[in-house]
Amino acid sequence: GDSVTQMEGPVTLSEEACLTINCTYTATGYPSLFWYVQYPGEGLQLLLKATKADDKGSNKGFEATYRKETTSFHLEKGSVQVSDSAVYFCALSGASGGYNKLIFGAGTRLAVHP
């Protein structure tokens, strides 16, 4: 079945360091890919998305490129801030389950220190 695998955390970085969180997927068809973020005490919220191969999603300095050849959607940021500390989830939809059903990875916790 469809699945998402992302790197285990926690990831601990100093402020202004570069971030990469790896995400790979297995899916039939042509899924859309997402990064959701869960800040402490808040609900999951969409960070960015890409709907077809080679699309780049970007938001708040984060970006990720839909790579069909490597079935990957890695999240990157050039300079992280303390406020980026959160749990990040890679997800897909639109494969075998319809577009409004998301399949999530296990999440990667990011801690950024001053």
Partner 1 sequence: DAGVTQSPTHLIKTRGQQVTLRCSPKSGHDTVSWYQQALGQGPQFIFQYYEEEERQRGNFPDRFSGHQFPNYSSELNVNALLLGDSALYLCASSRLDRNTGELFFGEGSRLTVL
> Where on the chain is the footprint of partner 1 (CB under 8 A)?
4, 32, 34, 36, 41-46, 49, 51, 89, 91, 93-94, 97-107
User: Which residues are bridge partners to 110 per DSSP?
Assistant: 11, 86
Least Å from the CB of residue 16 to partner 1: 28
User: Which one, 10 or 61, has the nearer CB to partner 1?
Assistant: 10
User: Which one, 67 or 97, has the nearer CB to partner 1?
Assistant: 97
Least Å from the CB of residue 99 to partner 1: 4
Least Å from the CB of residue 79 to partner 1: 26
Q: How far apart are the first and last CA of the chain?
A: 41
Least Å from the CB of residue 6 to partner 1: 8
User: Which one, 23 or 112, has the nearer CB to partner 1?
Assistant: 23
Strands 11-14 and 108-113: parallel
The three-state (H, E, C) secondary structure of 16-59, written as one string: CCCEEECEEEECCCCCEEEEEEECCCCCCEEEEEECCCCCEEEE
User: Measured between alpha carbons, how far is 49 from 92 in angstroms, rounded to an integer?
Assistant: 9
User: Which one, 16 or 99, has the nearer CB to partner 1?
Assistant: 99
